[in-house]
Amino acid sequence: MTTEGPNPQQPARRSVPPSTMSLLVHRVEEYARHCGHADLLRECVDGRVGQ
């Protein structure tokens, strides 16, 4: 069975259901961007550089 190729219906079937992660990923990017801006402002105020 493992040496046989897929039947005609298998390529059309999804291996996993569609995900809505593209929204979560965008929010993580925005959050990281805002954290970077806040870090730059903090560096301007107290002069310490983040690690």
pLDDT at 13 (0 to 100): 66
Domain residue limits, the chain: 23-51
**pLDDT, tens digit, 9 for 90 and up, residues 26-50:** 888 899 988 888 888 888 898 877 6
pLDDT at 42 (0 to 100): 86
Encode 4-31: b = buried (16+ Cβ within 10 Å), e = exposed: eeeeeeeeeeeeeeeeeeeeeeeeeeee
What share of the chain in percent tops pLDDT 70?
61
pLDDT at 27 (0 to 100): 86
pLDDT at 18 (0 to 100): 76
Tokens, residue 3:
């040496």
**pLDDT, tens digit, 9 for 90 and up, residues 9-32:** 666 666 777 777 666 688 888 999
